Structure 1
Amino acid sequence: MGKPTIARILAAARKAFYAKGFFPASVEEIAEDAGVSRATVYLYYRSKDEMLLDLMRQDLEYQLEIYAELAGLRRVTLAQVRKWLVRLRGEQEVRRSSLNLFWAGATLVTDSMDPVYRHRDAIIATLGRRFAGFDLDALPRALREAQRIRCYMMLFMVEGATVQIVESGPGPSVKAALDQLARSLLHFMDRGEIATPPPS
Structure 2
Amino acid sequence: MADTKPKPRAPRPPGKPTIARIRIAARQVFYTKGFFPASVEEIAAEAGVSRATVYLYYRSKDEMLLDLMRQDLAYQLEIYAELVTLKRVSLAGVRKWLVRLRGEQDERRNSLNLFWAGANLQTNALDPVYRHHDNIIATLGRRFPGFDIDALPRGQKEAQRTRCYMMLFMIEGTTVQINEGGPGPSVSAALDQLARTLVHFLGQGEVMTSPPI
TM class by shorter-chain length?
over 0.9
- Structure 1 stretch 85-94 or stretch 63-72: which is displaced more? 85-94
1:174 paired with 2:187, answer yes
**RMSD after superposition:** 0.8
For residues 161 and 35 of structure 2, the distance between their equivalents in structure 1, rounded to whole angstroms, comes to 33
Aligned residue number for residue 170 of structure 2: 157
Aligned residue number for residue 107 of structure 1: 120
For residues 127 and 91 of structure 2, the distance between their equivalents in structure 1, rounded to whole angstroms, comes to 33
| TM-aligned CA deviation for residue 35 of structure 1 | 0.9
Aligned residue number for residue 89 of structure 2: 76
1:120 paired with 2:120, answer no
Q: Unaligned stretches of 5+ in structure 1?
A: none
Aligned residue number for residue 212 of structure 2: 198
User: Which AA in structure 2 matches 1:29?
Assistant: E
| TM-aligned CA deviation for residue 94 of structure 1 | 3.2
Question: What do the CA deviations read for 1:19-77 (whole angstroms, capped 9, x no partner)?
Answer: 00000000001001111110010011000001100100010000000000001111110
For residues 16 and 126 of structure 2, the distance between their equivalents in structure 1, rounded to whole angstroms, comes to 26
**What secondary structure does 2:54 align onto?**
helix
Aligned residue number for residue 60 of structure 1: 73
Aligned residue number for residue 39 of structure 2: 26
* 1:124-135 mapped onto 2 (5 Å cutoff): 124-135=137-148
Contact 2:108 / 2:176 at 8 angstroms: preserved in 1?
A: no
Q: Unaligned stretches of 5+ in structure 2?
A: 1-13
| TM-aligned CA deviation for residue 162 of structure 1 | 0.4
- Percent of aligned positions that are identical: 78
TM-score by length of 2: 0.92
Aligned residue number for residue 62 of structure 2: 49
Count of equivalent residues: 199
1:97 paired with 2:110, answer yes
User: Which AA in structure 2 matches 1:198?
Assistant: P
User: Which AA in structure 2 matches 1:80?
Assistant: G
Q: Give every structure 1 segment of 4 or more consecutive aligned residues whose post-TM-superposition deviation is greater than 3 Å.
A: none
TM-score by length of 1: 0.97
Structure of higher CA gyration radius: 2
User: Which AA in structure 2 matches 1:39?
Assistant: A
